A and B are shown apart, each in its own frame.
Chain A
Amino acid sequence: MVPITTVHYLVVAAALFVLGVIGVLIRRNVVIVLMSIELILNAVNLNLVAFSRMWGTIHGQANLQGQVFAIFIIVDAAAEAAVGLGILIAFFRNKETVNVDEIDLLKW
């Protein structure tokens, strides 16, 4: 078996990213769209951590900047999920639907 290199992790991250993009573009249910956004963020995190592993050491110490960036993205994803779901609940009170193509109150 080939040893697992960085490119293997990048391919997995790319696959998850494309799956997330498909989910955002195709699904009608807003909650599933938000979950696809979480998939995209996870793909980005995997990319960052794989690169932090690839760059090895800097100044003799392990280069963990990618991992710190990934932690910040996880924090950010939590904030964004909370706010996004809050918006969804506020909208659901008005129109009783969770389908993206029925959220068209501004259309004329």
Chain B
Amino acid sequence: MNPGMNAALNSGMAPVATPWFFYALAGLAVLSGVLVITLRNAVHAALALIVTLLSVASLYLMLYAPFVAGVQIVVYAGGIMVLFLFVIMLVNIERSSKERRFNRIWPAGLAAACALLALFVSAFVKGKALFMDRGMPLPESSNTQQIATMLYGEAGRMGQYTFAFEIASLLLLVAILGAVIMTKKKI
């Protein structure tokens, strides 16, 4: 809350959170991710996943993507997680707290994941020059309008992703039909 920070905030186009925010949010996301895969109770794991989703949404806000952050909160945290909690309540009554958490072949899985992690680490260390940050602040006030232009088109032309948008709505229709039919008792 020092005047220096205020000057920096007022001079730029859009406010950028300090590195402290990034480390806090990233740490929260990774910690909740660890909790998701290690907690015994499925409802607790779902709550940890909600915390992960919300912190990833905040990271999107730091990346000048407010619309994606809003969609993440509405769809992921507000819709998909409610679906998960419903299914956990239908399916998981009380037995899972006494059962084994991990597979019998969990060392093999852990080894494979560590190999993947080693691959990522080597990619980031060796390829650091590829990820050159241009550092340009994107305007935040027209983010939604620009995404809308890409999705819907403007001035009588189709947007770049209009066809994909229509296919996505068809995909959702198929998913709705599939989920309804699979959970019916008698088709």
Contact = CB atoms under 8 A, between A and B. Distances in A.
| A contacts B: CB pair < 8 Å | yes
A102 to B, nearest CB: 10
Contacts of B124: 7, 10-11, 14
B56 to A, nearest CB: 5
Interface residues of A, number: 76
A87 B133 CA distance: 43
Interface in B166-187: 168, 171-172, 174-176, 178-180, 182-183, 185
A9 B96 CA distance: 35
A64 B147 contact: yes
A53 B140 CA distance: 12
Given A7-B124, A85-B179, A42 B53 contact: yes
B131 A10 contact: yes
DSSP majority for the A interface?
helix
Given A56-B136, A64-B143, A74-B75, A26 B68 contact: no
A67 B65 contact: yes
Interface string B15-54: 0000110100010011001101100001001100100110
Contact of B136 (A4, A22, A57): A57
Given A18-B120, A23-B37, A86 B183 contact: yes
Contact of B113 (A21, A45, A61, A74): A21
A67 B144 CA distance: 11
A42 B56 contact: yes
Given A65-B150, A75-B75, 18 more contacts: A17-B116, A21-B113, A25-B110, A26-B37, A35-B36, A38-B49, A39-B33, A45-B68, A49-B68, A54-B134, A74-B68, A75-B172, A77-B80, A78-B76, A79-B171, A82-B176, A83-B178, A87-B182
10 pairs of A and B residues whose beta carbons are closest in the complex: A25-B109, A79-B175, A23-B37, A86-B179, A56-B134, A86-B182, A19-B33, A14-B120, A56-B136, A82-B179
